[in-house]
Chains A and B, each alone.
Chain A
Amino acid sequence: MLMDTPDEMLASAAANGDRVAFATLVGRHYERIHALAWRLTGSRTEAEDLAQDICAALPAKLRNWRGEARFTTWLYRVIVNAAHDLRRRQATRTRAALGWGDWELARQAEIATLAEANDWLAQAMTRLSPELRDTVALVLGEEMTQAEAGLVLGVSEGTIAWRMSEVKKRLRAMAREEAK
């Protein structure tokens, strides 16, 4: 019976302390959380960690659930924000790390090269700015409409459309380079 209950009802029940509803909800959406986390970070490990962080934080976050949007939209927003926080933390760490001496520099360089994995997707994604990456993750990866993606990212539909055209440009440039 719970299997058929819409997300939004489950979320409201969970926010009110309904344990079964919460378990159903988080079980239903874990794959989705993980997949978007992967699309946003490009790393399996980070996706796992991020998904776990999000699951752990969901009970607290659900207290602010007011049923004003579709649950998935709300959830996407949570995921995207968590990914942004992760990026910020990583950036801070990287900055803090610089200046630890040569060993650390060597390690940072090594990590940086590791991040540029060899497959096409990673190359394509690293060419995109974080904003563009988020946008393609939602529009292409999650097959959202530009309006939905705008809702999640907190920008207008027009901005999403512009970003997608930017993405096309970058991909074209990349293809040209490869052709050389």
Chain B
Amino acid sequence: MIEYPQYKKPFYALSKQNSQKVGFSFIRLITLVTILPILGIIAYIVFKGAGSITWEFLTAMPSDGMRAGGILPAIVGTFYLMIGTAIFSIPLGIAAGIYLSEYAADNRWTRLIRIAIVSLAGVPSVVYGLFGLGLFVLFFKFGISILSASLTLSIMTLPVIISTTEESLRSVPYRFRVVGVSLGGTQWQTIRRVILPQALPGIVTGIILGLERAVGETAPILFTGATFFLPHLPGSPMDATMALPYHIYVISTQVPGMPSGIQYGTVLVLLAFVLGMNLIASLIRSRARARRQW
């Protein structure tokens, strides 16, 4: 008979299952700790700001040196900036993403482009603002306007849209491209009819996240399109505009005797704007994932 060496379990050792349980609980705790501050901030803002959200607050012009009335011009302005940014950044971003993923060879030139995109994404937003001031406001003489601000925000948004477009296209399996071409499709026909529709949810998500960042930024519009106060809504792309993030800065620091309800209310509106977009992006993503065939 063979004698097997006996493994003696020390009395203090946890069983494997139990140590796994402890590990998982620990990870759960850490997760909770990370999301608590975010939940706290949102709860605090809702608590302080919800009271001042009325129909009038959302649809009226500011009055009494912005200490009363509504924030309509800031909401409308932010909306205009978003549309303007979308017009410039979406077509360019998608085109560049398609080029990089489908057509560009992997050489020094395209690697340089990729590095540029990554670095562009890391540039502080105030630098974009100054760049926009120099290029669009002064050089092209667009002035302090929705146009200048939208162009500036577009440059900031582009890297996000380009890289998410490229990533989404790359995640579509290569074999579909081979099949499309083998059936007599050109490369572009295959991309447009087969690959792009599969990548679209990812691209749309990227667009929304990019625009969301643009909508929430203050620095890039500070010198290029935002204005302190406007007695009317902007009438053309060449007008300056009020915008939610800048308006928050103004009413928090520049207006003495500002009622805090309006401040928190304005922040809440911006937060709802941004989180709402985020939510839409998540919905698109999860729905697309559920329907995906590969």
User: Do A and B come from the same complex?
Assistant: no
**Contacts from B to A (Cβ < 8 Å):** none
**Contacts from A to B (Cβ < 8 Å):** none
